A and B are shown apart, each in its own frame.
Chain A
Amino acid sequence: MGPALSLAARVELWDVVLAAVRTELRCSGLREVTTPPMVAAVAIEPWIEPVCAGAGWLHTSPELAMKSLLVGGAGPIFQLTHVARAAERGAWHREQFVLLEWYRPDRDDAVADADGVMADVARLVAVVVQAAAPWALRSIESPHTWSRIAFLDAVEDTTGLQLQGDEDGDALARRMAATPYALPPLRTASTDARRLEAWTAFFSGWSDAALDPWLRGRAGAGAAVHLVDFPAPLAALSKAAVDSRGRTTSGRFESHVFGRELANGYRELRDATEQRARFVAVAELRAAHALPVLPMPEAFLADLAAPGLPPCSGAALGLDRLVALAVGADALAGIALVP
């Protein structure tokens, strides 16, 4: 156990960090919104479990509500809110944590343009590291370089495997069979669900065994990484794409700082039909793994269909994690206001 922050110090730390984040985002043209934490439907995700509340759930992210605001013409917006994800408990996971989520309908360039939300992530990291400095338990420097690495290139660098991003579930399982990333037996039936199930399982195993150590090595050298161009089966709520090497990818990225995953962003998917098909595949995966049935977010899908989401990019950043990293704490508990 290293040194610890007193409660009074944590109160000051959070107060200063929250103010700094708000100032930074307002100064770059976003307005703060709040949406209710209790919702009738959440975005259906394979491995994110909502907590029941009343007739619905606590939001796992404010994504659907904020997208409804964007559909209505809200313009660039951000939100700071606690979200709840059941059974996520660990040194770097808490069941309830502060998510900073923001959208830029002025830009459809999460990946293509350095001025997009990826640049916001890099700026926010620098702002929070600076704001938190008086409370740092050891000297922390903002990452001095940010690099972008395509997901499939990182797979190739760490495993030697060349993937195209469109392998179906069984093909991916065969490719992985004789590697340290062998997949558990697939339980789903449809092509879409099997592809999703196989890629998600691969992502978890590969993240832990290869990607995280690789990223920690880079973090040691002061570098932060945007892992970009996620393969299409892992697109989640982002737009599908094809990269310069003809691989099937998407506008999803993750930002990793000090060797930890910090933010997830999308060039947002705007096609209601494709979004529904993805939710259906996730629902099949959830059913096959005996996870609770979640309702289709029909109101959100109706908004997507008409009047439709403006072209936009967005990201969500785990603020507790950033604050803990910025002060050099060795777990989220080190900066929590409530144990």
Chain B
Amino acid sequence: MASVDVSELKKNTKIEIDGHPFNVVDFQFVKPGKGQGLYKCRIKNMITGAVMDRTWRSGEKFEAANVESKQMQYLFASADGFTFMDNESYEQVELGANIVGEDKWFLLDNLSVDVLFYNNRPVGIALPSHVIMEITDSEPGVKGDTANNVTKQATVATGYQVQVPIFIKVGERVKIDTRTGAYIERVNAT
């Protein structure tokens, strides 16, 4: 397997430590002028999702994690998890609820996502940065309540609850940021 020198690390480099795949989520290089360089990294276990901080000295080497990403389509949820399909081979894989985690709220039928495989085992999904979803339930806005930044709770098709501006109505579609879970904007019907 390919070896990665610590000086080659950057954000999103995937490395293997003690048999676990880790993704480098943050990365800082520090070095006293004539001292050994230190690489201060925040790494995320791609299977458990646990995040930790590690500092390595220059010269250290890692194994690259055998991680590949495949674009797949979300099909359906079951009691055991979530099923995705490879659009080319029609092969289906099921990911457990513990792997999908809170991302489940953004899984619309037929949504295209990147499924990550570690040693050919699915270990996670990468959502598009935003999704567009229909509002299925929300209190009507109170008339006359036009002050800025006033929001109300609304429910979207997946059951996810999100704060939206008061003018949003049931049946309208809104854009939601999948990283923060926050409302971005109303999507006008075309």
In the complex, the answer to whether B7 meets A46 with C-beta atoms within 8 Å is: no
List residues of B (26-76) whose CB comes within 8 Å of A's CBs.
28-38, 40, 55, 57-59
Partner of A47, one of B29, B30, B31: B31
With a 10 A CB-CB cut-off, give which of A45, A88, A90 has the most chain B CB atoms.
Answer: A90
In the complex, the answer to whether B33 meets A264 with C-beta atoms within 8 Å is: yes
In the complex, the answer to whether A88 meets B28 with C-beta atoms within 8 Å is: no
Asked if A203 is at the interface of the complex by the 8 Å CB criterion, the answer is: yes
Asked if A35 is at the interface of the complex by the 8 Å CB criterion, the answer is: no
In the complex, the answer to whether B57 meets A254 with C-beta atoms within 8 Å is: no
The CA-CA distance from A37 to B149 in the complex, in Å, is: 59
Residues on B with C-beta less than 8 A from A47 are 31, 34-37, 58
Asked if A208 is at the interface of the complex by the 8 Å CB criterion, the answer is: yes
The CA-CA distance from A45 to B35 in the complex, in Å, is: 9
CB of B31, distance to nearest CB on chain A (Å): 6
Partner of B34, one of A184, A208, A234, A289: A234
In the complex, the answer to whether A46 meets B36 with C-beta atoms within 8 Å is: yes
In the complex, the answer to whether B31 meets A88 with C-beta atoms within 8 Å is: yes
Partner of A88, one of B34, B37, B59: B37
Partner of A93, one of B31, B57, B59: B31
Residues on B with C-beta less than 8 A from A312 are none
Residues on B with C-beta less than 8 A from A48 are 34
In the complex, the answer to whether A261 meets B59 with C-beta atoms within 8 Å is: no
In the complex, the answer to whether A204 meets B36 with C-beta atoms within 8 Å is: yes
Contact with B along A32-60 (1 / 0, CB 8 A): 00000000000001111000000000000
CB of A174, distance to nearest CB on chain B (Å): 20
In the complex, the answer to whether B28 meets A261 with C-beta atoms within 8 Å is: no
In the complex, the answer to whether B30 meets A264 with C-beta atoms within 8 Å is: no
Given contacts A87-B7, A204-B38, A208-B38, contact A290 B32 (CB under 8 A): no
Asked if A89 is at the interface of the complex by the 8 Å CB criterion, the answer is: yes
With a 10 A CB-CB cut-off, give which of A204, A205, A261, A264 has the most chain B CB atoms.
Answer: A204
CB of B26, distance to nearest CB on chain A (Å): 12
Contact with B along A155-192 (1 / 0, CB 8 A): 00000000000000000000000000000100000000
Residues on B with C-beta less than 8 A from A88 are 29, 31, 37
Partner of A90, one of B28, B35, B55: B28
The CA-CA distance from A289 to B7 in the complex, in Å, is: 14
Given contacts A90-B29, A208-B55, contact A45 B37 (CB under 8 A): no
Contact with A along B1-27 (1 / 0, CB 8 A): 000000100000000000000000000
Given contacts A87-B7, A90-B28, contact A204 B57 (CB under 8 A): yes
Residues on A with C-beta less than 8 A from B31 are 47, 88, 90, 93, 204
In the complex, the answer to whether B29 meets A46 with C-beta atoms within 8 Å is: no
In the complex, the answer to whether B28 meets A91 with C-beta atoms within 8 Å is: yes
CB of A211, distance to nearest CB on chain B (Å): 8
Partner of B36, one of A201, A212, A236, A264: A201
CB of A45, distance to nearest CB on chain B (Å): 6
Given contacts A87-B7, A289-B59, contact A207 B32 (CB under 8 A): yes
Closest to A93 in B: B29
In the complex, the answer to whether A204 meets B29 with C-beta atoms within 8 Å is: no
The CA-CA distance from A93 to B30 in the complex, in Å, is: 8
In the complex, the answer to whether A261 meets B33 with C-beta atoms within 8 Å is: yes
List residues of A (200-217) whose CB comes within 8 Å of B's CBs.
200-201, 203-205, 207-208, 212
In the complex, the answer to whether B38 meets A45 with C-beta atoms within 8 Å is: no
The CA-CA distance from A212 to B28 in the complex, in Å, is: 14
Closest to A209 in B: B55
List residues of A (85-101) whose CB comes within 8 Å of B's CBs.
87-93
Given contacts A47-B35, A204-B35, A254-B33, contact A184 B7 (CB under 8 A): no
Partner of B32, one of A91, A204, A289, A291: A204
Residues on A with C-beta less than 8 A from B57 are 184, 201, 204
CB of A333, distance to nearest CB on chain B (Å): 13
CB of B127, distance to nearest CB on chain A (Å): 24
Closest to B61 in A: A290
The CA-CA distance from A201 to B37 in the complex, in Å, is: 10
**Ordered nearest first, which 9 A-B pairs have the shortest CB separation?**
A90-B29, A204-B35, A204-B36, A207-B32, A87-B7, A203-B35, A47-B36, A264-B33, A208-B38
Please give the residue numbers on chain B whose beta carbons come within 8 Å of chain A beta carbons, in ascending order: 7, 28-38, 40, 55, 57-59
List 13 A–B pairs whose Cβ atoms lie within 8 Å, in order of A's numbering.
A87-B58, A90-B28, A90-B31, A91-B28, A91-B29, A204-B32, A204-B35, A204-B38, A204-B57, A207-B35, A208-B38, A208-B55, A264-B33
Besides A47-B35, A91-B29, 12 other A-B contacts (C-beta < 8 A): A45-B34, A47-B34, A48-B34, A87-B7, A88-B29, A92-B30, A200-B34, A204-B36, A204-B38, A204-B57, A208-B55, A291-B59
